[in-house]
Structure 1
Amino acid sequence: MTLIERLRQRAAQRDAAHTRRNRHVQSQRRGMLAECDGKSLINFSSNDYLGFAQHPDVIAAFQQSAARDGVGSAGSALVTGHFAVHRELELQAAALFGYEAALFTGSGYLANLGILQSLLDDASVCVQDKYNHACLLDGARFSGATLKRYPHADMVQAEARCAEANTDTLFLASDGVFSMDGDAADLPVLHAIAQRYHATLMIDDAHGVGVLGATGLGSLQAAGLQAADVPILVLPAGKALGGQGALIFAQRDIIQHLLETARPYLFSTAPAPAMAAALTASLHLLETQTQYHAALLDNIHHFRRRAVTAGLPILDSHTAIQPLMAGDNASALRWSEQLCDAGFWVSAIRPPTVPQGKSRLRITLTALHTEKQIDALVDALSQITEKDDGRH
């Protein structure tokens, strides 16, 4: 069988399982209104939780830096790619989140791969939640460390995995907010476990920063933890900060080790200077303009009140991620298509992103949504799910 024949066979298998994936073309956006595949849709699939991807201050910072510094960095960070705006972003971010130092890298995936590959080896053990993002799991696997996974949110089993580890280098790594269920990790308990077993606690707060905490600084703030309690924090910038790349926070010794040895950082062209400038503006907004965080929280509460009253099968999430369970792949796809016909962009999430039998619609809320848009979505979801119940 040729390569193309094998690929076509696998594509046919994905067709039969309703797991084929296709890209949608977004040609324009105005707030949460998107022109997608030629249709005007209200976007409830965006991770731009605070609306910063479209904020005038962030756009202006990007444009001004691009005009001054050019488009690309034209080199890796250790060759010629590290600009003054990169340094400014790292210094500002470290100060805001209370860490000694920060490192700006190309993406959250590259950040987590780089950290785990650089700090772990085949004598190490990495304990992780089974629902962690793929980059944390892949990073542990690629490092050669022994990966021990515990059932989602099961703190008893998390401790058991740490207790049975026989190593001088033990990592306990978790998402702050889980990207498909929207629930928050129990960081105080994870911190206590790490302390008991002398583990390095590492948190990826992609979906927590901008959402959780009194002022939106994320999972650590919400849990009452400090930088000293979580030695390594990763902040991917493509969600609430509205940009690209990721910031790694840690002590200076760790950051210095990463910038000298983390292969995804060493051998990648540095992120565009303009993106660093844009993220600096986003962090300033996060710190000083609290109305965006407040608006997001209001929208989350409003959606949940309406959804619970309507009897929709949502999970117990109090973050911007609101999963609506469909169960099988075909139902999730059908609901997503029917919502598209009704004027809403809501993505169907299916295996392998989620376990078999747990396909869902992944609804995301932002500060830019209006109550009218949320009410219209809940009404449409009620009609679709009631119609689907009638089919069975």
Structure 2
Amino acid sequence: MGDYHFVYKDLEGASTQWDDIQRKLGNLPPKAPAFKPPPFTPASDDQPKDKTWIDSKTSEELEDLEDNLDDDRFLQEYRKKRLAEMQEAAKVLRFGSVIPISGSDFVREVSQAPSDVWVVVILYKEGIPECGLLMQSIEELAVRYPSTKFVKIISTDCIPNYPDRNLPTLLVYNNGAVKGNYVGLHSFGRRCTPEECIFPLVDERFILNLLEKKKRLAEMQEAAKVLRFGSVIPISGSDFVREVSQAPSDVWVVVILYKEGIPECGLLMQSIEELALRYPSTKFVKIISTDCIPNYPDRNLPTLLVYNNGAVKGNYVGLHSFGRRCTPEGVALVLCQSDPVLNDGHNGNEAIIEGVRKRFIEKVVADHEEGGDDDYSSD
């Protein structure tokens, strides 16, 4: 059998009665003191307890802080500040859409709206195209300016027997009183874009509540100046003086006299429509020839007139003026031969003319490589 030696060890610091007697007699050294861990002292947090410190905490950590922080006043102040921020944000983002209302809602939603809220009311009817066009712009403005209240109501629900010929109608209310009244689509310009709709509203005692009103207006004015036209505008004889002769002095106007059913007119119109997109700061209009000049002979169609500052600056009779192929590049080159007619709103006159010449040359070279032999002469 193996020789086993057992050593009995009691708990650390424990002693027997025999050992205590021996220590009293000096036969054993004094008993070592029992181990005691040092008292717990939490680590000091030198980070200042400010908004950044609070924002970095999770929701669980914030709950622990609420229970353990000695200074509850800081959390109370922080709660008040956050509540004020949320209330201010809710005030800014108060609406943000066009709210449908009925006749019974009108007094509560419009007349009794708070005095610091401007209310824009659109009277409309389903199936009227002009109402749909204005509604698109109003819906976009409602998203852009959520502190202004936009509501829509069927016209006869608001005003019994209101005539459809007056639709759409826009009413502007503040503090229970009518501040503006806009009848018909013409009140907002021919194209009725959100940018065109905003100017009458802003002029009416600053209806639209903007955080950066001046900056946004400057941006929209600049954009409207650059993208002033961008399409061929149809006009009638009664519109000619206003749209052409009385156009601003910085605007060049290109007028095409045409008639439906004449192939040459259709060919030139395609090129003019493309140029209107390329050069949105030049005004392109089209008018039936006899509406502009009574008894104007069809053999002279199409005819292009160029106006600036109320005077005729160019007159091009017949399709042959622009070469047999009548491409947009050829038409542009003819228009810019003597005057800076075309304007894209971004580049100077020299850069535009240089670009017109470059496009024309590139078009000629490309067609020549494809085997085209048509005459590009614009004489």
For the pair shown, the structure with the greater C-alpha radius of gyration is 2
Q: Which has the higher contact order (CA 8 A, sep 6+)?
A: 1
Same fold (TM over 0.5): no
TM-score for the superposition, normalised by structure 1: 0.20
TM-score for the superposition, normalised by structure 2: 0.20
